[in-house]
C-alpha cells in the first residue's frame, strides 16, 4: 500500500537536510534517489517505507565502514536517502538524514549509547498497578524520553485489575511538571480514546516499558487488528509474558504511526554531553603517552593501552572511549 511521505512523518526538517545531499549529485543520479523511512531492522537488510510502499533496502558500502570506523547505523524511525537500482535490483541506502529526536539509553555502565528509536514525537511509558509499578524506574523512563526530545506520556495499563487506581496516577504525576498520565485497560478498550488523541497525520508514537505490561495488547487495540503477539497472563502477579522481540513501525488507521518496542527492564539515561568519569581516567593516563595527539590505538609508547594491559583501565572503557571519539580500536595481530 502506497502512502505519501507526509503520512510517514516527512516534514520540512528532513527535506532541508536532504536537499544539500541531493544537490551534490548529478541530475541523472538525482532521478534515481528517493526518500524512505526505516520500519524494521533485520540482520542483513532494512525494511523501509517509500512513497511506493513497503520495500527492502541494503546499506551501501560507504555506510558500512569509513576511515574513522563504522558510521552511525540506521535504526527504526530513521529517514534515509535511497538509490533505486535499475532493472528491479532493489534499494541501496546511501545517506542517513539527521535525527530530529533520538530515544536512547546508556549501556556498558553508562559508557556507551544504545539507540532505541529515532524521530519519535511522543513516547508512551507503559506500567501497571501490579508488581511492575516502580516509581524511581518510571522517573528514569521519563528522564530518558525528555532527553530524547520527544514528549513523555505515562499509561497506567490494566486498571481493571484494581478497585481504585487514583493513588497510582497521583504518584506518577509527581515525576515531572505537567506530565500526562492516563489510566487505561487495553483489553477492555477503556481510556484509549485519550491515547488516540495524541496521533494525527505524520505523528510518530512509541510504546516502552517492562515486559508483560501490555504493550502488544495496546498496539493491537490502537491498530484495531491483531498484529503483535500477546502472551498469557501469569496468575501469580497478573503480568503478561514477554512477547515482542523486535521493533516495528505500524501505521494507525486514523493517521499517525506507532512503534512497539521489546520490554526494557530498566533504562539508564544517556547524556551525550555528559563526560563519563571513566573517560577522565583515560585522559589522566594519556598524559604519559609518548605522542601528544595519541589516539590510543596503534601508537608506540601509549600509556593508556599500557594501563589496560596492567588492569588499571578496563578494555571496555577504552573501547567505549574509542567509540565516543569516532576512533577504531586496533585489530588483534594474527598469529603466524
In 92-106, which positions are buried (b, 16+ CB within 10 angstroms) versus exposed (e)?
bbbbbbebbbbbbbb
Are 66 and 137 members of one domain? no
In a domain, 80, yes or no: yes
Are 89 and 120 members of one domain? no
2 and 53 Cβ atoms separated by less than 8 Å: yes
In a domain, 268, yes or no: no
296 and 304 Cβ atoms separated by less than 8 Å: yes
Per-residue pLDDT at 312 exceeds 80:
yes
Per-residue pLDDT at 247 exceeds 50:
yes
Tell me which DSSP letter residue 258 carries: E
Are 87 and 133 members of one domain? no
Burial of 110 (C-beta count, 10 Å sphere; 0-12/13-18/19+): middle
205 and 120 Cβ atoms separated by less than 8 Å: yes
pLDDT band at 110 (very low <50, low <70, confident <90, very high): low
In a domain, 7, yes or no: no
The answer to whether the pTM exceeds 0.95 is no
Half-sphere exposure of 184 (CA within 13 A, CB side): 29
In a domain, 5, yes or no: no
pLDDT value at residue 269 = 59
DSSP helix/strand/coil, 159: helix
143-157 pLDDT, tens digit each: 888 988 999 999 999
Cα-to-chain-centroid distance, residue 125? 14
CATH number of the domain residue 126 falls in: 3.40.50.300
124-141 pLDDT, tens digit each: 999 999 888 989 889 888
Are 56 and 168 members of one domain? no
Lowest mean pLDDT among 17-31, 53-67, 156-170, 303-317: 53-67
pLDDT band at 264 (very low <50, low <70, confident <90, very high): low
Cα-to-chain-centroid distance, residue 276? 21
195-215 pLDDT, tens digit each: 999 999 999 999 998 888 999
Query: 213 is written with which cell numbers?
Result: 505490561
Number of domains in the chain: 3
Over residues 240-244, the mean pLDDT reads 41
Alpha helices in the chain (DSSP H): 12-23, 27-30, 135-148, 166-173, 192-196, 215-223, 277-286, 303-310, 315-324
Q: Which of 96, 118, 144 is the last residue of a domain?
A: 96
- Chain mean pLDDT for the chain: 83
pLDDT value at residue 331 = 43
Q: Which of 63, 78, 96 is the last residue of a domain?
A: 96
Distance, in Å, from the CA atom of 239 to the CA atom of 267, rounded to the nearest integer, reads: 20
Burial of 32 (C-beta count, 10 Å sphere; 0-12/13-18/19+): middle
Are 304 and 240 members of one domain? no
With residues binned 3-state (H G I as helix, E B as strand, rest as coil), the percentages for the chain, rounded to 5, are 25, 25, 50
51-85 pLDDT, tens digit each: 989 999 999 887 776 555 567 889 999 999 999 99
Distance, in Å, from the CA atom of 215 to the CA atom of 51, rounded to the nearest integer, reads: 28
Domain of 304, in residue numbers: 277-324
Query: 117 is written with which cell numbers?
Result: 528509536
DSSP helix/strand/coil, 281: helix
Selected residue with higher pLDDT from 244 and 285 = 285
pLDDT value at residue 65 = 64
Lowest mean pLDDT among 26-35, 56-65, 187-196: 56-65
Distance, in Å, from the CA atom of 214 to the CA atom of 212, rounded to the nearest integer, reads: 5
Are 65 and 106 members of one domain? no
Are 146 and 30 members of one domain? no
253 and 224 Cβ atoms separated by less than 8 Å: yes
**Contacting residues for 19 by C-beta, under 8 A, at least 6 apart:** none
Amino acid at each position: 500500500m502506497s502512502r505519501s511521505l507526509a503520512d510517514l512523518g516527512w516534514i520540512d526538517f528532513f527535506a532541508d537536510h536532504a536537499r544539500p545531499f541531493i544537490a551534490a549529485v548529478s541530475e541523472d543520479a538525482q532521478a534515481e534517489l528517493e526518500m524512505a523511512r526505516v520500519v524494521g531492522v533485520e540482520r542483513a537488510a532494512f525494511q523501509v517505507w517509500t512513497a511506493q510502499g513497503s520495500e527492502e533496502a541494503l546499506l551501501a558500502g560507504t555506510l558500512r565502514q569509513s576511515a574513522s570506523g563504522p558510521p552511525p547505523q540506521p535504526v527504526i524511525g530513521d529517514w534515509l536517502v535511497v538509490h533505486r537500482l535499475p532493472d528491479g535490483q532493489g534499494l541501496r541506502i546511501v545517506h542517513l538524514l539527521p535525527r530530529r529526536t533520538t530515544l536512547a539509553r546508556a549501556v556498558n555502565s553508562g559508557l556507551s549509547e544504545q539507540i532505541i528509536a529515532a524521530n519519535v514525537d511522543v513516547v508512551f511509558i507503559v506500567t501497571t498497578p501490579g508488581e511492575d509499578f516502580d516509581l524511581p524506574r518510571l522517573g528514569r523512563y521519563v528522564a530518558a524520553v525528555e532527553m530524547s526530545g520527544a514528549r513523555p506520556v505515562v499509561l497506567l495499563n490494566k486498571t481493571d485489575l484494581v478497585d481504585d487506581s487514583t493513588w497510582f496516577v497521583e504518584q506518577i504525576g509527581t515525576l515531572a511538571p505537567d506530565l500526562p498520565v492516563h489510566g487505561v485497560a487495553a483489553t477492555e478498550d477503556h481510556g484509549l480514546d485519550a491515547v488516540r488523541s495524541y496521533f494525527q497525520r505524520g505523528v510518530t508514537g512509541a510504546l516502552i516499558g517492562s515486559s508483560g505490561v501490555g504493550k502488544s495488547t495496546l498496539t493491537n487495540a490502537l491498530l484495531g487488528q491483531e498484529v503483535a503477539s500477546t502472551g498469557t497472563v501469569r496468575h501469580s502477579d497478573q503480568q503478561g509474558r514477554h512477547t515482542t522481540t523486535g521493533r516495528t513501525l505500524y501505521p494507525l488507521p486514523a493517521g499517525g504511526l506507532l512503534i512497539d518496542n521489546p520490554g526494557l527492564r530498566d533504562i539508564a539515561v544517556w547524556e551525550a554531553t555528559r563526560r563519563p568519569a571513566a573517560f577522565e581516567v583515560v585522559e589522566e593516563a594519556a598524559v604519559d603517552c609518548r605522542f601528544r595527539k595519541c589516539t590510543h590505538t596503534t601508537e608506540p609508547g601509549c600509556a593508556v593501552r599500557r594501563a589496560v594491559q596492567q588492569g588499571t583501565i578496563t578494555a571496555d572503557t577504552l573501547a567505549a572511549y574509542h567509540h565516543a571519539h569516532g576512533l577504531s580500536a586496533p585489530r588483534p595481530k594474527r598469529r603466524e
